[in-house]
């Protein structure tokens, strides 16, 4: 069974640029959640995708957007990068969207470290 993988591992961009981060979900999982982890902080929920649709969103501006593909892999796109976007971006996959009281365990990838200069 393949776990959650993310690419690239590290990325350096300059302010104002755009970036795309990729995530392959664990085999059999249909839901992907993205989190931003700033240095010294806990992960913050960005959004979740379930069956190719955005299923919930945290307190992030619209320049953070995403996609989920028919094979349940996902992309996180960030436009007009700002210095504060520098962080570890974590992807987590699960079987089912949750939200109904029962928890569908989220399995995390190793993350993509984004540095904005």
Partner 1 sequence: GNSVTQMEGPVTLSEEAFLTINCTYTATGYPSLFWYVQYPGEGLQLLLKATKADDKGSNKGFEATYRKETTSFHLEKGSVQVSDSAVYFCALYSGAGSYQLTFGKGTKLSVIP
User: Residue numbers of the site for partner 1 (CB under 8 A)?
Assistant: 4, 33, 35, 40-45, 48, 55-56, 58, 90, 92, 97-103, 105-111
Q: Which is nearer to partner 1, 66 or 111 (CB)?
A: 111
Complex with partner 1: residue 82 or 105, whichever CB lies closer: 105
Residue 57: strand pairing partners: 47
Q: Which is nearer to partner 1, 25 or 48 (CB)?
A: 48
Residue 98 CB, shortest distance to partner 1, in Å, is: 5
If the CB atoms of residues 16 and 59 are measured against partner 1, the closer one turns out to be 59
Q: How far is the CB of 6 from partner 1 (least distance, A)?
A: 8
Q: How far is the CB of 99 from partner 1 (least distance, A)?
A: 5
Q: E strands along 1-117, which residues?
A: 5-7, 10-13, 19-24, 31-37, 44-50, 53-57, 64-68, 74-78, 87-94, 107-108, 112-116
CB of 61 to partner 1, least distance (A): 17
| Contact of 76 with 66, CB cutoff 8 Å | yes
Contact 13, 84 (CB under 8 A): no
CA 65-29-104 angle, to 5 degrees, is: 90
């Amino acid at each position: 069974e393949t776990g959650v993988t993310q690419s690239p591992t590290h990325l350096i961009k300059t302010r104002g640029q755009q970036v795309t981060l990729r995530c392959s979900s664990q085999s059999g999982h249909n839901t992907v959640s993205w989190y931003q982890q700033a240095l010294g902080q806990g992960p913050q929920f960005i959004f979740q995708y379930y069956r190719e649709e955005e299923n919930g969103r945290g307190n992030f501006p619209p320049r953070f957007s995403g996609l989920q593909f028919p094979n349940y892999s996902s992309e996180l796109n960030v436009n007009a990068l700002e210095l504060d976007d520098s962080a570890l971006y974590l992807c987590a996959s699960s079987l089912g969207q949750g939200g109904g009281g029962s928890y569908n365990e989220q399995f995390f990838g190793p993350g993509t470290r984004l540095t904005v200069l």
